[in-house]
């Protein structure tokens, strides 16, 4: 597509709506399934209110990692500085850097939340339990996120959509759903 036309589509209300609504509607439906999943764990939440503290960071961090990788790859694909191959150096750096930075933050997350909970009215199940719950959830979620982020950026480019409008929404929504399921599964072990 002509480069100028591609840029113009980024500030045309009609083009933005035309490109985003089918994706957003798909996302709302997957999001509603994630909502149903969360609602179905209401009794677990009422019994272990500490999980409330974990939900936004756990699903949010997965979505953020997906967002960083998608955003980098989207721009790299738009400006043609990356090849659509899994061994391209830019892709390798995104996988390694993304995974390591993500598990670093997840490792700290449990410790920080445990200490915050000491000052709040939400009792923590214990430092060890919280650390392992968030860390193992983080490792599993990072792997899923990276695979989904790279896959969807390629699909977005392949279908000729701008990666900005296509890849990001699908990745973050699927991560919300998968993140909730992983979090409740892992927290049931600890």
Partner 1 sequence: MARIETRFRYFYIDSLEALFVFAVMAVLAGIIFGELRQRFIELPALLALVPPLLNTGGNIIATFSSRLATLLNAGKIETSLSGISSKEVFLNIVAAFIQSLIMAIVLGFAVHFILTLFGRPSLGLLQNTAIAVFALLLLTFSLSSIMALIVILGAKFGLDPDTVAGPFATGIVDLSAIVFLYVAAGLLTG
* Beta carbon nearer to partner 1, 35 or 125: 35
135 and 103 Cβ atoms separated by less than 8 Å: yes
- Residue list 117-136, contact with partner 1 (CB under 8 A): 117, 120-122
Q: Residue 2 and residue 10: Cα distance in Å, rounded?
A: 13
Among 135, 172, 182, 184, binds partner 1 (CB under 8 A): 172
Q: Residue 149 and residue 70: Cα distance in Å, rounded?
A: 6
**Is residue 188 a contact residue for partner 1 (CB under 8 A)?**
no
CA angle at 105 for the pair 151 and 184, rounded to the nearest 5°: 75
Minimum CB separation from partner 1 for residue 108, in Å?
7
Minimum CB separation from partner 1 for residue 104, in Å?
6
Among 44, 81, 84, 93, binds partner 1 (CB under 8 A): 93
Residue (of 117, 111, 101, 116) closest to 134 by Cα position: 111
Minimum CB separation from partner 1 for residue 105, in Å?
5
- Residue list 3-62, contact with partner 1 (CB under 8 A): 7, 10-13, 16-17, 20-21, 24-25, 27-29, 31-40, 42, 45-46, 49-50, 52-57, 59-61
Among 77, 82, 91, 109, binds partner 1 (CB under 8 A): 109
**Is residue 101 a contact residue for partner 1 (CB under 8 A)?**
yes
1 and 160 Cβ atoms separated by less than 8 Å: yes
CA angle at 93 for the pair 92 and 95, rounded to the nearest 5°: 65
Give the CA count within 13 Å in the CB-facing half-sphere of 61.
27
**Is residue 157 a contact residue for partner 1 (CB under 8 A)?**
no
């Amino acid at each position: 597509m002509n480069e100028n036309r591609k840029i113009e589509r980024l500030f045309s209300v009609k083009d933005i709506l035309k490109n985003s609504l089918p994706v957003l509607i798909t996302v709302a439906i997957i999001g509603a399934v994630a909502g149903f999943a969360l609602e179905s764990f209401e009794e677990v939440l009422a019994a272990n209110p500490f999980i409330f503290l974990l939900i936004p960071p756990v699903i949010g961090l997965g979505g953020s990692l997906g967002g960083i990788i998608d955003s980098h790859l989207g721009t790299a694909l738009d400006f043609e500085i990356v090849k659509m191959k899994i061994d391209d150096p830019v892709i390798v750096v995104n996988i390694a850097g993304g995974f390591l930075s993500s598990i670093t933050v997840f490792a700290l997350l449990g410790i920080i939340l445990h200490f915050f909970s000491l000052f709040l009215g939400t009792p923590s199940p214990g430092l060890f339990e919280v650390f392992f719950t968030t860390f193992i959830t983080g490792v599993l979620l990072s792997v899923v996120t990276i695979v989904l982020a790279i896959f969807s950026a390629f699909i977005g480019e392949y279908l000729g959509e701008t990666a900005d409008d296509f890849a990001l929404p699908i990745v973050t929504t699927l991560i919300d759903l998968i993140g909730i399921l992983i979090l409740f599964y892992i927290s049931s072990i600890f």
